[in-house]
Structure 1
């Protein structure tokens, strides 16, 4: 009897500790859905307390799937990460950010990117932290030991755009260091609550639902559907929206897919908003067990075709190992599929700036695309 009481006390203590961490540690953000007056409750995408993609979208469904995942993650995989010191990182010239010119894109690994379009500077999903985890010391370490730049060296950034609230896209430490430099944050419904808890002023946050188009600083931005899920911590699964974005300015258009499984929304976006000069399309962290929420590289190329893209920049790879494939499998397969389908694909080094449709750094974008550094 005494043993049972002690065991129960230990369980209750552990439960109380977990609850306290989730409630008090700011890294987990805040839960907007608990505010009954928040506009997310009126969203057509928000049903029965959760956001939903129109088609059934699942990750893993059986105990066997979970067991096989644990087994696979435990295996030694020699090509899961690049060899130490072998990942090329280009030093970003932060003083040149924002100079007049054509559409430019700089990729920082995974989905973090810098767009210079229509005279504006925009960071996309700027996860610049050490690991995609609420506790970075215990998460999968970033491949590169150093970043292309220090956040403190950045000039003022016009806007930050987020696709959803997962740790590999929305990073607490990054926001704490970055937010004072940013004029505006554009986020899907519910994600603003995280930013407000982390010190971002309400006046600089705009939350949007799918199919909303708006004008800002000479740009036209559209929050668009994606096939994924959301959530931080143990509570609030799918309680914030996830999305893609279309960004138009200076006579050019960009599509940023965020995280998404393949679906009919890509063709619908192409019909309504295409063609796009550049697509930043999710390509990495895929597996047959969660094929509905992350595309294979071949689907990445097809999604680019569906949205009527011109130049394809595969993202969501090159920084972290979050799936079982080799670290460079996404770009190898996407490049091969792009060659088969006649798609123009670029794979700049981390931190390398590419001018889309124009000459860059004394060499054409086509020549830069041919440098397969990832092999």
Structure 2
């Protein structure tokens, strides 16, 4: 019996190792030449990328056990009782659009931004589950998307904040790769795109505070306080970031994933004020307070950024923590009202413009 159990464990370990090493979902690995480039970054030490502040990334065994039990125990209202209906948008509406800057939120952190007659996708996660296999994650809250990924027209640029599954999805990249002119990522994330068939000439990797011109737009890779990794042994092997998106007359901010820290004020002082800021608000827990923000911190981050309007993101699509699915939006709208911060809360798929802000109470769709 003992030998049988040991043999079964060895077979299980072998299957896991083969799956991680052979499945394309886990992405690529940096070459020696790429690693040499990373060593020139101030954010790269001892073979890994690091946060500016000392951040604890590993939970204790007790916290890990508590977290797993809490996640699988079935906490009340962590998932909507009914399917979230989304607003639809069609391909021609996107392809033929030539008007002022507009946004479409796909839930969680995915955005379609149309600015200066260009279409930009941010963290395009269109998959059903933020995991390497559908059996390993909780399904998206909405059965449909505002538009099926196959129906999306030509995309001018894609911005990616980091390589976690809820932000960088293998299936989405494979479906998009022949529609996208150029991908922009933090250092290291490009190796995954290359492994998935994206030509190196269509990928630009940036370090924090680096800028790149894309036609008449300017993209800035700015700091975040988080981490990265898709497999068992690649934690912090790629960089994570936020993004600044600028035209001659407009200035936008996208936070990616981040705990609250002084980088928001640094970004606000250097690149603010912002017309609009999309800021993480969801998937938080007291056991990982440094890598995800609580809703009240989201509002403070918008103030640090000098944002004229802010929108809470990283909620409304997936269960990745133990709080109720509406806790983020309820707490952030309450704090925004208290601090007199202009907040946007559009429905998933709703087309919205920055200069047509509505009262929070009129768009409390949740």
Same fold, TM-score > 0.5, yes or no: yes
What is the 5 A alignment of 1:1-375? 8-32=6-30, 35=33, 38-85=36-83, 87-97=84-94, 99-357=97-355, 364-367=356-359, 370-374=362-366
Distance in 2 (CA, whole Å) between partners of 1:369 and 1:246 is: 29
Distance in 1 (CA, whole Å) between partners of 2:63 and 2:102 is: 42
Distance in 1 (CA, whole Å) between partners of 2:123 and 2:152 is: 16
Distance in 2 (CA, whole Å) between partners of 1:250 and 1:97 is: 22
Superposed displacement of residue 339, structure 1: 0.5
Unaligned runs of 5+ in 1: 358-363
- Superimposed CA distance per residue, residues 155-198 of structure 1 (whole angstroms, 9 cap, x where no aligned partner): 10101100000000000011111111100000011111111111
Superposed displacement of residue 119, structure 1: 2.4
Distance in 2 (CA, whole Å) between partners of 1:62 and 1:31 is: 28
- Superimposed CA distance per residue, residues 126-156 of structure 1 (whole angstroms, 9 cap, x where no aligned partner): 1000000000133100000111111121110
Unaligned runs of 5+ in 2: none
**Contact between 2:299 and 2:332, CA under 8 Å: does it hold in 1?**
yes
**Contact between 2:190 and 2:203, CA under 8 Å: does it hold in 1?**
yes
Paired position in structure 2 for 1:360: none
Superposed displacement of residue 41, structure 1: 2.5
User: TM-score, structure 2 length as denominator?
Assistant: 0.95
Superposed displacement of residue 310, structure 1: 1.1
The number of residue pairs the alignment matches comes to: 365
Over the residues paired in the alignment, what is the CA RMSD in angstroms? 1.7
**Contact between 1:117 and 1:250, CA under 8 Å: does it hold in 2?**
no
Instruction: Give SS of 2:267's match.
Output: helix
Distance in 2 (CA, whole Å) between partners of 1:322 and 1:12 is: 30
Distance in 1 (CA, whole Å) between partners of 2:273 and 2:6 is: 61
Distance in 2 (CA, whole Å) between partners of 1:194 and 1:21 is: 16
